[in-house]
Amino acid sequence: MILSKIIPGVAHSFLYFGFLLLFFSTELFSMHHLRPISERINMHQIRRVAMATMTASRFDYPKQEAEAPKILRYGDPKLYEPSLPFDLPKEMPLVHEVLEQMKLATKGMGNVGLAAPQIGILKQLVMFAVPAEHPRYKTDGVAQPMRIMINPHYKHLSDEKNLEWEGCLSVPGMMGQVKRYTHIECTYIDLEGVKQSFNASNFHARVVQHELDHLRGILFPLLVENRHMLGFTEAIMESEEFKKSRGF
């Protein structure tokens, strides 16, 4: 246990030592005018990369089990296709089969949302739970238990929208700022075949809109209006823009 803590520490010290050597050697070269100044290595950039490497493990995404159905990634054409509704009650057994696959795909991942097309099944089924707190997202401070929705729809209850960060299991390691309706009403069919509806606001509403977007082939990066507000999680979480939005 102690060794596992010491070894990465020692490795990082060597990494820094290497960078120091590199820094001084380039300084000496430039002093002797052997290289133009523009070719000198930007130490600030190197330090940032080194820090990102060291802190990357803090942003690790949950891993899928080896035998789990594969979660498709951003770029896979199947993610951009619309999903078909289930023909109920005839297709209720199919709902359960698809749900089983979705649960397998996210096994051990904790509080997550997943839509059937994310595992390549173009049917209108989503599952999600909303955490009360999250290191990356601006939550409502209230958890919502797992909800499984067949053939869901939503409508906005007012024109109010908010701009916040979100991520997706199909876009691992990245975040983007997306404008979403603040207040919505969602209707769906539950596993008993009964029509349900609920109102959601803020983060809860954001999660619902994100998941339902998957059913019409839309992934969050396609909705990021300011393209500077889409990037790698570790870089964004270090940015002033992100810290400001969290009141740091």
Q: Which residues sit at the interface with Ni ion, rule CB under 5 A?
A: 168
Q: Which helix (H) or strand (E) holds 13?
A: helix 2-31
Residue 133 sits at the vertex; the CA angle it makes with 168 and 245, to the nearest 5 degrees, is 75
Residue 134 CA, chain-centre distance (Å), reads: 12
| Closer residue to Ni ion, CB minimum distance, 168 or 236 | 168
Which residue has the closest beta carbon to Ni ion? 168
Q: For the CB of residue 214, give the shortest distance to Ni ion in the complex, in Å.
A: 6
The answer to whether the CB of 165 falls within 8 A of the CB of 242 is yes
Return the number of the residue (19 or 74) whose C-beta is nearest Ni ion: 74
Q: Which is nearer to Ni ion, 178 or 237 (CB)?
A: 178
211 is catalytic: yes
Angle in degrees, CA 203, 164, 156, rounded to 5? 55
Q: Write down the least CB distance from residue 90 to Ni ion, Å.
A: 28
Nearest approach, Cβ of 178 to Ni ion (angstroms)? 11
Which residue in the block uniquely carries the two structure tokens 């949950």?
62
User: Cα 222 to the chain's mean position, in Å?
Assistant: 14
In a 3-state reduction of DSSP, which class is residue 201?
strand
Shorter beta-carbon distance to Ni ion: residue 23 or 74: 74
- At closest approach, how far in Å is the CB of 174 from Ni ion? 11
Q: Which one of 27, 97, 192, 211 is the catalytic residue?
A: 211
Residues labelled as active-site residues: 211
